[in-house]
Copies of this chain bind each other. A is one copy, B any other.
Amino acid sequence: MCGIFGIANQSDASQMTYLGLYALQHRGQESTGMSSSDGDQVYTHKSMGYVADVFSEDVIAKLKGINAIGHTRYSTAGDSNEGNAQPIVVKCTYGTVALVHNGNLINAVSLREGLEQQGAIFQSTSDSEVILHLLARSEGDSLLDALGETLAQVQGAFSLLLLTADSLIGVRDPNGFRPLNLGTVNGSYVLASETCAFDLIGATYLREVEPGEIVLIRGSELKSVKALMAPRLSKCIFEHVYFSRPDSIVFGRPVQTSRDLMGRILAQESPVDADLVVPIPDSGVSAAIGYSQQSGIPFAFGLIRNHYVGRTFIEPKIKIRHFGVKVKLNPVKDLLAGKRVVLIDDSIVRGTTSRKIVKMVRAAGAAEVHMRISCPPTLSPCFYGIDTPTKKELIASSHTVEEICKYVEADSLGYLSLPGLIRAVGGKSSEFCTACYTGQYPIDFVDAMPDAKAEDRQLDLWEASLKE
A60 within 8 A of B: yes
Question: How many monomers of this chain does the complex have?
Answer: 4
- CB neighbours (8 Å) of A121 from chain B are 90-92, 120, 132-133, 136
Q: Known contacts A91-B122, A119-B136, A121-B92: does B257 contact A334 (CB below 8 Å)?
A: yes
Select from chain B the residue with minimum beta-carbon distance to A133.
B121
The listed residue (B50, B93, B310, B313) touching A116 by CB distance below 8 A is B93
Assess the A314–B18 pair: CB atoms within 8 A: yes
**Interface hit among A22-30, A228-236, A381-389:** A22-30
A467 within 8 A of B: no
**Interface hit among A212-220, A296-304, A395-403:** A296-304
A332 within 8 A of B: yes
A56 within 8 A of B: yes
Assess the A254–B334 pair: CB atoms within 8 A: yes
- Classify chain A: how many residues form its interface, as a range: 35 or more
The listed residue (B12, B90, B122, B289) touching A316 by CB distance below 8 A is B12
A142 within 8 A of B: no
The listed residue (B52, B90, B120, B327) touching A308 by CB distance below 8 A is B52
A223 within 8 A of B: no
A307 within 8 A of B: yes
Q: Which residues of A contact B (CB under 8 A)?
A: 11-12, 15-16, 18-19, 22-23, 25-26, 50-53, 55-57, 60, 89-93, 116-123, 125, 132-133, 136-138, 186, 196, 199-202, 245-247, 249, 254, 256-257, 260, 282, 285-286, 289, 292-293, 298-301, 304, 306-308, 310, 312-314, 316-318, 320-321, 323, 326-327, 330-335
A to B CB contacts below 8 Å, 15 in the list: A15-B317, A16-B318, A23-B330, A26-B307, A53-B310, A89-B123, A91-B125, A93-B117, A118-B137, A186-B318, A200-B326, A201-B316, A256-B335, A257-B335, A293-B298
